[in-house]
Structure 1
Amino acid sequence: MKLYIETLGCAMNMRDSEHMIAELRSKEGYELTHEAQEADLILINTCSVREKPERKLFSEIGQFAKIKKPGAKIGVCGCTASHMGEEIIKKAPSVNFVLGARNVSKISEVIHKNKAVEVELDYDDSTYVFDASRNTGVKALLNISIGCDKKCAYCIVPHTRGKEISIPSDMIVSEARKLAQNGVKELMLLGQNVNNYGVRFSTKHKRINFADLLREISDIEGIQRIRFTSPHPLHMDDEFLEEFATNTKVCKSIHMPLQSGSSNILKKMRRGYNKEWYLNRVQKLQSLLPNVTIGTDIIVGFPGESEEDFDHTMDVLQKVQFDTLYSFVYSPRPHTESHLWGDEGRVPSEIASARLSRLQAMHREILTLKAKKEIGNTHQVLVENIKETGDVFSEGRSDNGKLIKIPDEVFKIGDIVSVKVIHNEGGSLIGRPVI
């Protein structure tokens, strides 16, 4: 039996796909294939955050229905499955079952129930022990919580992944140890608000917060690097920032979703913080770690955004000098508060697009200057990729998230190499090993 899976969206979806692959392999005997035409089961793990996710989904279903072999099943999983439910089967009869993002542990059951729809948002699999995936790399994803309690006006995630529940710390540490024993050196901890870890458990549990969890994981032999996504600016208290700065295994690269630099728009978005709080947290972090790299998300053209509001966003961009930026023009999502506003406060598309262009142009200028300043700096690089034919090189990321290529050198994947930056090509860093 062969399984083909298409994963759309975030790292959380990638981890959900890993769980489903492992469950189906151990409990049902499926083996993964990269050719949909030869699969007995085709899974589409969907994302609702992307623009026009429903159109994308039904287009994919149609393509798979045309090429699948006789008797093969199609299952729709993930966030779009959560909020559309049985509507998917009504619109696409070729779909055999629908499995929501909060119901991943049911995968080995639902494949045997034709036209089943399992999208319960209150379902709790936070203590479910998934079968181990065959991770043979040096990096791995690890869930520490599920769901989200936030009420951001633009976000559909609480309506697709349910309320926030933390996974018991002993389960997290146990899985991390197993991954380390299998050769994993870098962990990426996943949650919708990772630094709010410990807010709620579904079973009796000791009092613990995210800083405590980082300390526990960093004690595991073999784990050399810890990353996480995404922390919420509202929960970046001093204890968290100080642990981030002083824990030598925690990588000095952090994603701090801004969304808007305007306190007025942040209030409309229901983000829970204002411009001053955000900048205060950045200043605290940069005082502790001058070389920290910071990434962010920004939504341009949110309903009611004035030119003055947008200027505040540009001001934050200039002050923080973000190293990575994911930026988008606002588009409404079903089941969200802002979707109910209709055209109220709508920013004309041509204005929003022009603002986005200005934002991205300024960020490109920032990155060009940052790349030039990197020349001469030395970083510890975890080798993640090698090319041994043609233009030979090794490639990997520094502790603070810089992607660095090392020409004419072939190291082992998983090696940590001291590398001096000697050149940049359009913002891409080129280095040589320090002997």
Structure 2
Amino acid sequence: MPTLYIKTYGCQMNERDSEQVARMFVQKGYTLTDRENEADVILFNSCSIREQAEQKALGKMGLLSKQQHRPHVVYGMMGCMAQSKKDELFKELPRLDLVVGTQKYHRVFEHVDGILRARQERRMDELQTAFSGTRVCDVAEEADSQNRIRDHLNPGARSTAYVSIMQGCEMKCAYCIVPYTRGTERSRPIRDIVEEVNMLADAGVKEVTLLGQIVNRYGREMPAADGKGGFVQLLEAVHEVEGLKRIRFVSPHPIGFRQDLVQAFTYLPKLCSHIHFPMQSGSDRILKMMRRPYRNETFLDLCARMKQARPDLSITTDIIVGFPGETEEDYLLTRQAVEQVQFDNAFIFRYSPRRGTPAAAMEGQIPEEVKEARNQDLLAVVNEIAIRKNRELVGTVQEVLLEGPSKTNEERLSGRTSQNRPVIVDAAPDLAGQLLPIRIEESTGFTLYGVPCPSRA
């Protein structure tokens, strides 16, 4: 029985895509392995938005493909990087067999299996296939596609799951390559999404995260119902699924973030008290250069309104420092916005040029040492806020979804609060998958530690 090793670099969308592909292979008789040197097929699903993820994938694949003692192994790259750099990848990685663009996941198995069988039967010495064409093939259009993405190892043991509700992006931010790799926006029907969530809940999943490149643009073509747009209609429908306890979504955009979504936090209790809301910059001038069509004032107002609707809401964000033309004044405006919102956490990225994007050709590229200095300064601000907020939770009781063994200590369970704060819990293994009140006893800065309340221990 052939074995598959699949490694994901990048966002939750990439993770969800990898699950889908892995499921295809398992259904066709392959087994999964977490040992690279045992695999007959090695697939990497890599992000192209961040240079670091791209370089990690290239470096790792380069090392693995040098295994001269296993000439039958099939090596493949998938995802956004594959979509944008297919020809270069074959030059950089001579043993690479196939490159799978984001629109072609539905054909991964047939091509990989064909290559592997040909090698195993010694009908040919070398086969190299590239198929990241431009035809848009929405996963939601494929027969039984959503039933193929369930956890390929142990469906019943999972307490959380990702659910893709749409594909593509049309915003075309100046620094981002996603619109060129993921295609135009396509939304799945509400009934299909609800059916998938029902199936997940029946399998024991307690929390789903709804995924989209710009998730709040879901169902833009749908008619409003009682003043509610397509995305809020979807949230309400998913909220009705029995057995489901929590709903998350990533990531919204200030454009199209309507009052109906703000209000949803007031009457949908399953909606988690957390939102990841990319700001990118606190400078209106830089936002305009980034092609982010909103003012910082709009972003700050949305944050304030959401916190008013859900007082315990935590807000995390993405920020780019060192965008071309960013002055010290621009950077300080971003720093000021971080201090005003008091983000619970932030992913801070040094700008890195992505070939084919408008920003890569802009004048005023910032020196790396300046990017690094701003990155470290802003990181210190964010960390101080996060550490303080976590310490304030010591002695409180938080509802925590216990997801499974801690990565650092299998005798403990790890989980997350509604606000998406990680918690390590001294609890019996059979409590995994449960949503329990946990008394927070300690904070090490970024991680909370606690025990189940006595009545539920």
Alignment TM-score, normalising by the size of structure 1: 0.92
Contact 1:387 1:410 in 2 (8 A): no
Aligned with residue 117 of structure 1, among 121, 130, 133: 130
Distance in 1, matches of 2:398 and 2:325, equals: 43
Mean Cα deviation higher: 82-91 or 136-145 = 82-91
Which AA in structure 1 matches 2:175? Y
Aligned with residue 443 of structure 2, among 415, 419, 424: 424
SS at match of 2:437: strand
Give the equivalent residue in structure 2 for 1:46: 46
- Give the Å deviation of 1:230: 1.0
Contact 1:380 1:399 in 2 (8 A): yes
Which AA in structure 1 matches 2:136? Y
- Give the Å deviation of 1:410: 5.2
| Structure 1 residues 64 and 393, CA gap change in structure 2 (3 angstroms) | closer
Mean Cα deviation higher: 383-392 or 128-137 = 383-392
| Structure 1 residues 314 and 97, CA gap change in structure 2 (3 angstroms) | same
Computed over aligned residues only, the root mean square deviation of the Cα atoms, in angstroms, reads: 2.2
Task: State the percentage of identical aligned residues.
Answer: 37
Distance in 2, matches of 1:357 and 1:86, equals: 36
Aligned with residue 369 of structure 1, among 388, 393, 406: 388
| Structure 1 residues 377 and 29, CA gap change in structure 2 (3 angstroms) | same
Distance in 1, matches of 2:39 and 2:414, equals: 34
Runs of 4+ residues deviating >6 angstroms: 387-391
Contact 1:166 1:200 in 2 (8 A): no
Aligned with residue 348 of structure 1, among 364, 367, 373: 367
Give the equivalent residue in structure 2 for 1:204: none
Q: Deviations over 1:286-326 (max 9, x none)?
A: 11112100000110111111111111111111111111110
Distance in 1, matches of 2:401 and 2:390, equals: 19
Q: How does 1:20-419 map to 2 (within 5 A)?
A: 20-26=21-27, 28-51=28-51, 55-67=55-67, 69-111=70-112, 112=114, 114-125=127-138, 126-128=140-142, 129-130=144-145, 131-133=148-150, 134=152, 135-136=155-156, 137-199=158-220, 209-341=230-362, 344-386=363-405, 392-407=411-426, 412-419=431-438
- Give the Å deviation of 1:57: 3.9
Distance in 1, matches of 2:165 and 2:429, equals: 35
SS at match of 1:235: coil
| Structure 1 residues 200 and 160, CA gap change in structure 2 (3 angstroms) | farther
Q: Deviations over 1:173-200 (max 9, x none)?
A: 1111111111111111111111110135
Which AA in structure 2 matches 1:45? N
Distance in 1, matches of 2:277 and 2:91, equals: 40
SS at match of 1:295: strand
Number of equivalenced pairs: 427
Q: Which segments of 5 or more consecutive residues in structure 2 lack a partner in the other structure? A: 116-126, 223-227
- Give the Å deviation of 1:70: 2.7
Distance in 2, matches of 1:331 and 1:390, equals: 36
Which AA in structure 1 matches 2:266? A
Mean Cα deviation higher: 121-130 or 361-370 = 121-130
SS at match of 1:189: strand
Contact 1:39 1:69 in 2 (8 A): no
Contact 2:50 2:352 in 1 (8 A): no
